[in-house]
Amino acid sequence: MARASWFDDATEVPHLAEKVNELDAFANAMADGRVDKNELEAQQERLIAAMKTVEADLSDEQHAKVTVLLVELTAYDIMRTLHELQVERLRGKFK
């Protein structure tokens, strides 16, 4: 399998979010425009399984680097989501 870059070639902005659209479980969960508790729990289970698979293969140094990566990615996703919600709220007020 060819290695796919984590970044947009032109902007160097992470583009992992676009890869999410290729996940069947994500597409199915989003089809009705809402995420229910069961869909969220199923995604959590897939995440835990993926993390355990990767974690088992990492050296201590790699584990430390991946931990920083995961924490930064989580912070970025939360901040981006909040920013998008704030922008939409402002659009609603000024329409």
Question: Would you say 21 and 27 are in contact if contact means Cβ atoms under 8 Å apart?
Answer: yes
Report d(CA 57, CA 40) in Å as an integer: 26
Residues above pLDDT 90, as percent of the chain = 53
In whole angstroms, how large is the CA radius of gyration of the chain?
16
Asked if 37 contacts 30 with a C-beta cutoff of 8 angstroms, the reply is no
- The torsion of the CA quartet 11, 85, 22, 51, rounded to 10 degrees, works out to 90
Highest mean pLDDT pick, 8-12, 30-34, 38-42: 38-42
* Residue 95 in this model has a pLDDT that exceeds 70: no
Is 13's pLDDT higher than 90? no
Question: What pTM does this model have?
Answer: 0.76
Instruction: For tokens 């902005």, name the residue.
Output: 13
The DSSP letter of residue 4 is P
